[in-house]
Amino acid sequence: MRDPKDRPNIILINCDDLGYGDIGCYGSPVNKTPVLDRLAAEGVRFTDFYMAAPVCTPSRAAMMTGCYPQRVSLDRVDNGDWVLFPGQSMGLNPEEITIAALLKRQGYATKLVGKWHLGDQEPFLPTRHGFDSYYGIPFSNDMGLMAWKEYFNRFPPLPLMRDEQVVQEQPDQASLTERYVEECVRFIRDSRDEPFFLYLAHMYVHVPIYAPQRFLDASDNGPYGAAVECVDWAAGAVMYELKRLGLDENTIVIFTSDNGSAVGDGGGSNAPLRGTKGTTWEGGQRLPCIVRWPGVVPAGCECGEMTTSMDLLPTLAGLAGTAAPDDRMIDGKNVRELWLNPGDAASPHEAFFYYLCDRLEAVRAGKWKLHVEHNELYDLAADIGETTNVIDQHPDVVKELSALAAACRRDLGDAITETTGENRRPAGQVDNPKPLTTYDPNHPYIIALYD
């Protein structure tokens, strides 16, 4: 058996639209998440962890590449949309290097189960970006045939894929998480004798929410709570399998979400943060992050240092015995010391930049956050909810953060100031893109329309 530090197994669990206040160990009073709470008790819980965007495609591009989405030109889709839609010509450039590609070079078996959302054309699929195999829906679960009038003719049937083939159209979403877990368990069993990287990208709690009946029956927070508790169950099933196979101590488990909750009337929460998905207030981009690695990452710790999803690539590469690519600019930092010594190590980030698509809207350095567009300054250490604008009291801080924002604009660009950005790399493009599915009135869809 391998030493736990010799190319440890890695499981990355990423939720969709799960907010900062949606699980118990981050303060939820309504969603029951005993498995995730136990993961936090057995590992490190990060309080100041950021995704690089408040919506799906750019957020996932950043996590996979270790780069701001502006760096890889997936900050805004070529038709002006915030995220990629079925059958578009754009996607993650095949020249980019993902976490999976780096780990595969180190002898890891690699698999993605769930949502990809970085392009559905052949050159952009997960199997072209370092994943040995793929099972899931390649974009958001609302991008299928819908009963809503404005959606009915907008999307083709929702595709469930295995590797590069569509294996079902319009799947029953209430059963999909169980199928995802089965796929994860099968992969763990098949890969038990070699290092593996499993990326489980949930469809929950993105709308429309279809949860299994047993979770609906037990929920104190309607369908939303049922979906959160199904995510918790899935984590428990994966953890059970790790322990059953004696892989627990050899495996790093990371849990997070791609952006904040949309909230509304659906039951989600970003408390105590201000803002929602699609905004650059803290609630849009500050997310839960739990890292568990028995015997290596100390148990029951909390880390308030600033970290980002972009740090996963260099950190995991280092722990696997390699390093981030040195032939291109990478924005993530190796935060190994924050994982191993969360009470003593300091964040390697000078600043974090909050973009909404191609618009630089805010910058954080230390405890200070400047909303450059709104001309507002907040002390996040004293005012996590961004309630009290203190810009008039701290002109020196405003000057410092404004200089950081100006440097960022020159580097990555900014639509507000019409700055192009000197260090952007192109997104992938294909000619004559086609959707993965087309509607067939004679097809025996198990779900004709999602309501």
Model confidence at 266, in pLDDT bands (50, 70, 90)? confident
What CATH class is the domain 9-340? alpha beta
Closest to 135 measured CA to CA, from 120, 116, 119: 116
Closest to 257 measured CA to CA, from 7, 28, 55: 55
pLDDT above 90 for 389:
yes
Higher pLDDT, 40 or 264: 40
Model confidence at 134, in pLDDT bands (50, 70, 90)? very high
pLDDT number for residue 148: 77
Task: Please enumerate in sequence order all residues whose Cβ is within 8 A of that of 62, keeping only pairs 6 or more positions apart, or say none.
Answer: 51, 52, 53, 68, 69, 72, 308, 309, 310, 331
Q: Which residues of the chain form CATH 3.40.720.10? A: 9-340
Q: Which residues of the chain form CATH 3.30.1120.10? A: 352-424
Concatenated DSSP letters of 267-280: T---TTS---TTSS
Distance CA 32, CA 41 (A): 15
CB 89 within 8 A of CB 430: yes
How far is C-alpha 13 from the chain's CA centre? 8
Q: pLDDT tens digits for 47-101? A: 999 999 999 999 999 999 999 999 999 999 877 889 999 999 999 999 999 999 9
Distance CA 46, CA 347 (A): 12
Model confidence at 128, in pLDDT bands (50, 70, 90)? very high
So which residues are the catalytic ones?
Answer: 56, 117
Distance CA 315, CA 313 (A): 6
pLDDT above 90 for 333:
yes
Distance CA 188, CA 199 (A): 11
Mean pLDDT, all residues of the chain: 96
This prediction's pTM: 0.97
Distance CA 178, CA 141 (A): 15
Percent of the chain clearing pLDDT 70 (strictly above): 98
CB 39 within 8 A of CB 294: no
pLDDT above 70 for 162:
yes
Q: Does domain 352-424 match CATH 3.30.1120.10?
A: yes
Percent of the chain clearing pLDDT 90 (strictly above): 94
Please, which residues bridge with residue 111 across strands? 133, 198
pLDDT above 80 for 166:
yes
Model confidence at 4, in pLDDT bands (50, 70, 90)? low
